[in-house]
């Protein structure tokens, strides 16, 4: 077996150091650079994803807010339309009542006028019959002036 010589040990140490420096320059630095760049890229993508998520969340909240506002606006519009319809219905009902009252008043006025005409006609007929009856009783013809006097006294007695 051969012995270990200090020069061989020194050459092996120098070879290991040279190999280490070469491997570090050739492999370690590019691999570290690649890993660092990849880590930075991943961190950037994570930050972008987080930002995109935050933006999406903000857009979703904005959409929900607008949706709620639209729903509230729709409800308010429905309430306004309902109130307007109620007011219109009340106005129509009020107008119909006024027309019905006017028609009823007009009918009452016509009835009263017709009653007055019928009463005047009846009075005139009664006056003629009373005059004829009085003429038969008195066996004489009554003048128009006498007739009016008799009728007036008859009705004044009747109304008391």
Residues 149, 85: Cα–Cα separation, whole Å = 66
In a domain, 113, yes or no: yes
In a domain, 126, yes or no: yes
In a domain, 1, yes or no: no
Q: What is the number of residues in the chain? A: 160
Q: In the chain, how many H helices and how many E strands?
A: 3, 0
132 touches 150 (CB < 8 A): no
Q: pTM for the complete prediction?
A: 0.42
Closest Cα partner for 59 from 44, 72, 51, 70? 51
53 is in which domain, residue-wise? 6-159
Q: Summarize pLDDT for 15-64 with one digit per residue, the tens.
A: 999 999 988 888 888 888 899 999 999 999 999 999 999 999 999 999 99
In a domain, 16, yes or no: yes
Q: Summarize pLDDT for 80-134 with one digit per residue, the tens.
A: 999 999 999 999 999 999 999 999 999 999 999 999 999 888 888 888 887 777 7
Count the domains in the chain.
Answer: 1
In a domain, 28, yes or no: yes
In a domain, 76, yes or no: yes
151 touches 130 (CB < 8 A): yes
In a domain, 85, yes or no: yes
């Amino acid at each position: 077996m051969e012995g270990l010589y200090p020069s061989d040990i020194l050459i092996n140490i120098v070879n290991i150091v040279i190999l280490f420096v070469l491997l570090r320059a050739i492999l370690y630095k590019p691999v570290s650079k690649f890993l660092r760049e990849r880590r930075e890229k991943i961190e950037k993508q994570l930050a972008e994803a987080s930002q995109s998520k935050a933006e999406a969340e903000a857009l979703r909240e904005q959409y929900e807010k607008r949706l709620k506002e639209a729903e509230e606006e729709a409800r308010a519009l429905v309430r306004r339309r309902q109130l307007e319809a109620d007011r219109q219905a009340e106005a129509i009902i009020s107008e119909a009542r006024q027309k019905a009252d006017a028609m009823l008043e007009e009918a009452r006025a016509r009835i009263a006028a017709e009653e007055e005409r019928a009463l005047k006609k009846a009075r005139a007929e009664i006056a003629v019959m009373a005059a004829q009856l009085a003429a038969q009783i008195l066996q004489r013809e009554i003048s128009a002036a006498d007739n009016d006097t008799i009728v007036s006294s008859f009705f004044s007695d009747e109304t008391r």
